[in-house]
Amino acid sequence: MRNSIFLVVFFSLVAIGIRPTEAQDYRQRLYAPGDYGSRNWRIPAIRALPDSSLLVVNDRRKYNEGDLPEDIDIVARRSTDNGRSWSEPVTIAKGTGRGHGYGDPALVTTLQGEVICAFAGSNGFFASTEENPIRTFIARSSDGGRTWSKPEDITAQIWGSKALNPDCRRYEGGFCASGNGLLLTRGPHAGRILFATALCRDHREVDNFVLYSDDNGHTWQVSHLAYRGGDEAKMVELSDGRILLSVRQNGPRGYNISEDGGVTWGTQGTWPEMTTNACNGDIIRATRGNQEVLLHSITNSMKRENVSIFVSYDEGKSWCNPKTLCPGKSVYSSLTLLPDGTIGAYIEESTLKGCELWYINLPFDW
């Protein structure tokens, strides 16, 4: 009788898009191909907000799964019960045709509790030129993601012939890595907000710099070179206030460290224990009581599959204990620490029909 009841509950949950596992407290599909009239959904970002709500943002790839310059919208959903239920999507930036879309959202929260979303728009990354650029925008929400300001174009502050940083004037395009930005909370630069950005030169080489602001995102500066030959990158603040940068690579994942709030960077290196497909993941600090660890989500494979979480107990010097979140075909992922101490993950899973976006809640002990 007990087994019969379990099977009825299990298949009922699967029918509505929820597939529980032993490791996961809760799992829910937020988007599937065809939902809300869109053929595809990609590029997840998730962030727990100061008001205890949960915000997810992603691409609504209306007509195909392609990147910019395709016609793409950026949309947001909120949850006030740790992801058990979600609001209807709210549009942050609406694409109006090929070459006039938006994509790759990244989220950060200011000390005042305002949410800033950075994203790209217009041309494709490697096709970008100063005459026809891929653009970087920011939009703001002061009410937890319910409403958003009009997108503001900040491209000229980052790269191109008029860039504030002379080192960035020879680059032809750039975008911020989707997922999480970073708010510094320790040391002399507390309150600084940062996004890792990838800039391209010669339409094929990619380097990483860091976009940062000390006035809540109203003006922006660009760091010195953070990683040569990089790609999409993420950052986390270490316990001593330094910043650890993790960089997408095909093979051992790259890293570098800044000791001055992200302005200058040390000697770049790689983590051989994190050898993966070139994919975008996320990195966060998780704390419960006296226990602090770094968690890093990324595909644990040389293919786009098996999104897992790696753990570091030594501030990113080494990584161990990768645990599988999505054993099948899976791609980008984003992480956040919820107010109740659990972990929220927002992940792409690939199906024959296209990408689905799933929210997963994980107990800290897992």
Q: Please write the tens of the pLDDT for every residue from 35-63.
A: 999 999 999 999 999 999 999 999 999 99
CA distance 140 to 158: 19
Question: Which residues have CB under 8 Å from 225's CB, separation 6+?
Answer: 167, 207, 208, 209, 265
7 confidence band (pLDDT: 50, 70, 90): very low
**Strands laid side by side in the 282-288 sheet:** 26-31, 354-362, 343-351, 320-337, 305-312, 291-299, 282-288
The CA-CA-CA angle for residues 274, 279, 283, to 5°, reads: 60
Mean pLDDT calculated for residue range 324-343: 95
Catalytic residue among 102, 227, 255, 332: 332
CA distance 88 to 75: 10
* pLDDT reported for residue 24: 65
Determine contact, residues 156/176, Cβ cutoff 8 Å.
no
Residue carrying the six token digits 């602001």: 213
Nearest to 181 by CA among 232, 230, 250, 239: 232
Q: Given its phi and psi angles, is residue 113 left (phi above 0), alpha (psi -120 to 50 degrees) or beta? A: left
Mean pLDDT calculated for residue range 75-87: 97
Residue 73 falls in the annotated catalytic set:
no
CA distance 66 to 46: 22
Range of the domain at 195: 2-362
Catalytic residue among 232, 305, 348, 356: 232
Residue 359 falls in the annotated catalytic set:
no
The CA-CA-CA angle for residues 362, 365, 366, to 5°, reads: 50
Total number of domains in the chain? 1
pLDDT at 17 over 60: no
Catalytic residue among 67, 70, 104, 172: 67
CATH number at residue 82: 2.120.10.10
Residue 332 falls in the annotated catalytic set:
yes
